[in-house]
Structures are given as structure tokens and as C-alpha cells.
Amino acid sequence: MLTEEDIEISKMEDQVLTIAGKDLLREIKLAKNIHKHAWQLLEKIDGKAALDDLKFYERFYLLLGIRSLTHLRSVIILIQKGYAAEVASLGCNLLEIFMQVKYVDEDKDRASEWFNHKNPYKAVWGIGMLFKHFDDSNLKEHYSALARIKHSQFYGTGINMTPSEKGWNLDAGPSLDDWLLRWVLTYTTTSFVDILARIRATFGKFHENYATWNKIFNKIDTEFRLSYKEMVYETKMRLDNMKKETQK
């Protein structure tokens, strides 16, 4: 039975898409297209190859590809309901998966380490080691931004605060901050796209028309990256303005 609080929160969740700007709606649609297209590639493997028939790196790509696809689906659902901080957590996971895939892509023999790893409490390749290995400032900045939102160390991240006469109103419900939702969605989706870009060729042999699939993927990828660059530019301008305001 739904409680009064359930109904109130559901109403707030339903508001997200009604107040969303055209950019956020466009990027939700893009994320859905990316998810659908990735599913069409990975589902083609079903019934055509057993895991044991695949090489270690192919198995690794498939398992992490399916996990990433599930993450992206969760991201889309949560964004449509207004849960930015929760999406940031998934974004951190997707970026970690991307770095693992990138690491194996450099040397496919490394995939066996992933399967032979025996310690369930420790990652095969720690996040610190991967950051040090790649030494990529963009990766660090990307992860840092999502981590700050994940840990609620940044404005509007899952702790909604509005001023009132007696101080502040705190709200544990969804965020209606269009910009924040757009930010975490595009930051997270780009990690999935980067994963898919590296594993797609491995599974092309299972698809009846991989050339057409790949052509469509490249088109979606181009459209998404243009939207991503636009979001990054707008975000930088907004953060610069916020910084100036706090320094006054």
C-alpha cells in the first residue's frame, strides 16, 4: 500500500521529464539509442557461442559489456526520475570498467589475470594503479567530478537544500536540477560509449550485418560526442560563474 510519502515522492519524480530542458531530453533519447544499439550487438551472441568457447579476453569483454549495459539502463531510469547522485555512483563504476577494458585492450593476455583473481575484497587492478598507468588528466577529471557528486561533496548532489525563513529545507527526494542531471548523464554515458567502441569489433562476427551496425553506431557516437562537448563547455561556464559568485 502506498504511503503519503510514496505518493509525494512519486509526484516529484514525475515532474522531472515535464520540466526537463530540450538538451536533457535529447541526451536521454541519445542514451536510449546507444543502449538499444549495444543490446542489438551483444544479444546476437546468445546461442552462437558458449563462454567456454571464447578466448579469455572475449569472455572478459562480454561479461563487462553486459554489466555496463545494465548500468546504462539503470542510469537512464534514474535520470528520468531525478536521481543524479545515484547516477554518479554508476558513472564511477562505468569509468572503472572502461579503464579495465582499456587496460586489457593494450595487452589481451591480461584478461587471464581477471579470471584467475582469488581475492573477492580487492580489485584485480586497483583504480589508483590504473590512473597511474594511463596518466590521463581527462580521465582523472572525469572521475573526480563524478566522485564528488557521488560523495555529496558538490552542489545539489542528492541533498536538496532550499532556503526558508528559519534556515533551510532539506529534501531527500529527487533532484529537479536540469543542469546537474544532464551533467551526470553525459559524463556517465560517454564512459559506456568508450567501452562499446573498444569491444564492438570482437563481437562483429556474431552479427549478421556488422558493417551496417557499425555505421549506425558511428553516427550515434558522433551525435552524442557533439552533445557532450556542448555540455562540457556550458558546464565550465556555469562553474566559472559560480566560482566568481562565491569569491565576491
Where in the sequence is the domain holding 187, given as residue range(s)? 4-247
Interval 179-197: pLDDT, tens: 889 989 999 999 999 999 9
In this prediction, residue 53 carries a pLDDT of 87
Q: How far apart are CA 240 and CA 248, in angstroms?
A: 13
pLDDT band (50, 70, 90) for residue 165: low
Q: What is the CA radius of gyration of the chain?
A: 20
Chain centre to alpha carbon of residue 198: 16
Q: How far apart are CA 206 and CA 203, in angstroms?
A: 6
Half-sphere exposure of 13 toward its Cβ, with a 13 Å CA cutoff? 14
Work out the average pLDDT over 212-216. Answer: 96
Torsion angle, alpha carbons of 119, 102, 195, 25, to 10: 100
pTM recorded for the entire structure: 0.88
Report the number of distinct structural domains present in the chain: 1
Q: How far apart are CA 94 and CA 88, in angstroms?
A: 10
pLDDT band (50, 70, 90) for residue 51: confident
| Predicted confidence (pLDDT) at residue 9 exceeds the cutoff of 80 | no
Work out the average pLDDT over 3-17. Answer: 80
Work out the average pLDDT over 172-177. Answer: 76
At residue 5's C-alpha, the angle toward residues 182 and 178, to 5°, is: 10
| Predicted confidence (pLDDT) at residue 159 exceeds the cutoff of 60 | no
In this prediction, residue 47 carries a pLDDT of 80
Q: Output the CA–CA distances (angstroms, integers) from residue 95 to 64, 86, 146, 167, in the order listed.
A: 12, 15, 10, 38
Q: How far apart are CA 124 and CA 92, in angstroms?
A: 16
- Pick the residue with more confidence: 137 or 162? 137
| Predicted confidence (pLDDT) at residue 92 exceeds the cutoff of 60 | yes
pLDDT band (50, 70, 90) for residue 87: very high
Please name the residues in contact with 21: beta carbons below 8 A apart, sequence gap of 6 or more. 178, 182
In this prediction, residue 143 carries a pLDDT of 93
Alpha helices in 82-175 (DSSP H): 84-106, 111-116, 127-134, 137-150
Mean pLDDT of the chain: 87
Q: Are 185 and 75 in contact (CB under 8 A)?
A: yes
